[in-house]
Structure 1
């Protein structure tokens, strides 16, 4: 047990130290996710200010500061807090004789770097798309995902308003995706991570952007706004589940964009019961209502 305790503490302290070094600019700039997400956020916010889709929406929209706090909580505070648990879990698998090689399906080492990164990006995006469907499909997961869908005015920072339990689900499945690729997570993976953050911010931004013909490949604000629509097509528990890529929704017929005015109501039936403050949202899902409400 001492081994697991030491691993937990070392991982926690290591993640904390890396974050502090990032704040102080003591890590390579291309791995500095702390300042990287701030720069991306400011740039996308500037686009919202200069080219607003919903012009009546305030620059400091409803819940702007709550969502801004979520950026730092979900991306850093919670990641630091949970880092030790993932390290212990990794050691438990090793002790049980389960190695990365046991799950490897694809070996990418022989491919050019650009191809490795592309496959890495596509596989992880598919895993997240599938996970996203689970969050909508199953009531006990939907209870947590409601926090993200409680957004009533869309803006870039809404990207990071999600319940901390989503990290618990997403992280293992993303890790499984990496293991299928032979444990592949290249040094240059920061390219994929920064690209995913940028696309996610844009998808939630108050900007009318569709990418033209590339809308069938990349997710976009118009498509994602309908994912947050209060009223969904009859019989649907969700539409437009894409994270970075829209191609999965077009392939599996879960795409839906009937018009592009940007003026639709957001949320879900019963969203008035979602707590307005962070602490209430932090605890929601464990003590929240259990009836199956649709977004």
Structure 2
């Protein structure tokens, strides 16, 4: 037990030191804090210069709420719970494997550090994105997970910051389901993760931006604003009660597995979900929503 307490304490102190370093150090390219700000300002600038919905305000509905979500989920959440939880669960998992004479390295299929850099990054990105695509589908199909995911789908006007409006339980699920696949392709370093992460953030921001872009032939590979708007449509596709277009960075998976749906130009479609007018409007109430729903179901 003492070991796990030390892990939790070291996680908090270590991430706090890291966060302070990110804030005061601007001389390295993989600085997540300033990287997020730069990407956000660039995509916001594109929204202002090339707005798809021209009558949508620059400071659209819930702009400041989404901006708070963006920094909370990207930084404060790690400090409050995510790093400590992730490190503790990782150690518990390794200890459980050791009981049966195994280790995480037993599952390692390939080390991308032994491959050419570009190929290693490509494999890491493809595996990560495919797992996240499947995780996203689960968020729509399993009722208790959908209650968490409703936070993201409560967006009523799309803009770049809506990308990072999500309940804090979502990254817990994503990281948990990514753990084994990423361990199987071990050997990547922090800069590998940063490179892929920045690319994914940029595409995610663009997907949610007020932009009418589909990237031409690349639309069959990369997720894009004209495709992703239909993922947020209030009216569900006639062939699926769970929605469509689950791509995180790549649209490829939706085309391969027939979950794509772009019936027409979706510029002015209504966003949200059934009964979203009853969904909480403030941060605290949205974070508590899944548990309040659970309590109500028990009472009924």
Please state which band the TM-score falls in when normalised by the shorter chain. Answer: over 0.9
* Kept in 2: contact 1:100–1:182 (CA 8 A): no
Match of residue 252, structure 2, among 223, 247, 251: 247
- Which residue is equivalent to 2:262? 257
TM-score by length of 2: 0.93
1:66 partner SS: helix
Separation in structure 2 between the aligned mates of residue 156 and residue 108 of structure 1, nearest angstrom? 32
CA drift at 1:183: 5.4
How do residues 154-193 of structure 1 correspond to structure 2 at under 5 angstroms? 154-182=158-186, 184-185=188-189, 187-193=191-197
Structure 1 residue runs without a partner (length 5+): none
How do residues 162-241 of structure 1 correspond to structure 2 at under 5 angstroms? 162-182=166-186, 184-185=188-189, 187-236=191-240, 237-241=242-246
- Which residue is equivalent to 2:119? 115
CA drift at 1:261: 4.5
- Which residue is equivalent to 2:44? 45
Separation in structure 1 between the aligned mates of residue 161 and residue 146 of structure 2, nearest angstrom? 21
Q: Deviations over 1:172-207 (max 9, x none)?
A: 112222112135445332110100000000000001
How do residues 1-295 of structure 1 correspond to structure 2 at under 5 angstroms? 1-25=1-25, 28-82=27-81, 83-96=83-96, 97=98, 98-182=102-186, 184-185=188-189, 187-236=191-240, 237-288=242-293
Separation in structure 2 between the aligned mates of residue 261 and residue 104 of structure 1, nearest angstrom? 43
Give structure 1 regions of 4+ aligned residues with deviation exceeding 4 angstroms: none
TM-score by length of 1: 0.94
Q: Deviations over 1:243-265 (max 9, x none)?
A: 00000000000001111241100
Higher-helix-fraction structure: 2
2:112 partner SS: coil
1:162 partner SS: coil
* Kept in 2: contact 1:30–1:190 (CA 8 A): no
* Kept in 2: contact 1:239–1:256 (CA 8 A): yes
Residues 57 and 101 of structure 1, relative CA distance in 2, 3 Å threshold? same
2:292 partner SS: coil
Separation in structure 1 between the aligned mates of residue 181 and residue 204 of structure 2, nearest angstrom? 20
Separation in structure 1 between the aligned mates of residue 143 and residue 225 of structure 2, nearest angstrom? 26
Q: Deviations over 1:194-247 (max 9, x none)?
A: 000000000000011111001000000000000000111224111000000000
Separation in structure 2 between the aligned mates of residue 29 and residue 88 of structure 1, nearest angstrom? 29
